Amino acid sequence: MNDFKAVVMTPQIYRYVREQAGRPSAVQEKLIARTLELGDSAEMQIPHEQAVLLSLLVRITGAQTVVEVGTYTGYSTLAFAQALPPSGKVITCDVSTEWTSIAEEAWQAAGVRDRIDLRLGAAAQTLAEMPEEPVIDLVFIDADKVGYVHYWDLLVPRVRQGGLLLADNTLYYGEAADEQPEGNAAAIDAFNRFVLADTRVESVLVPIADGLTMARKK
107 and 80 Cβ atoms separated by less than 8 Å: no
Helices 26-36, 97-110: axis angle to 10 degrees equals 160
Of 77 and 192, nearer to ligand SAM (C-beta) is 77
Contacts to ligand SAM by CB under 6 A: 44-46, 70-73, 75-76, 93-96, 99, 122-123, 142-144, 147
CB of 142 to ligand SAM, least distance (A): 4
Q: Which is nearer to ligand SAM, 29 or 202 (CB)?
A: 29
Long-range residue pairs from 20-27, CB within 8 A, at least 24 positions apart, any chain: 20/49, 21/48, 21/49, 21/52, 22/52, 24/48, 24/51, 25/110, 27/78, 27/106, 27/109, 27/110
CA 190, CA 85: separation in Å to the nearest integer? 36
In angstroms, rounded to a whole number, what is the distance separating the alpha carbons of residues 169 and 81?
Answer: 21
Find the shortest distance in angstroms from Cβ 4 to ligand SAM.
30
Q: Nearer to ligand SAM by C-beta: 90 or 159?
A: 90
Q: Which is nearer to ligand SAM, 113 or 200 (CB)?
A: 113
Choice between 50 and 192, CB closer to ligand SAM: 50
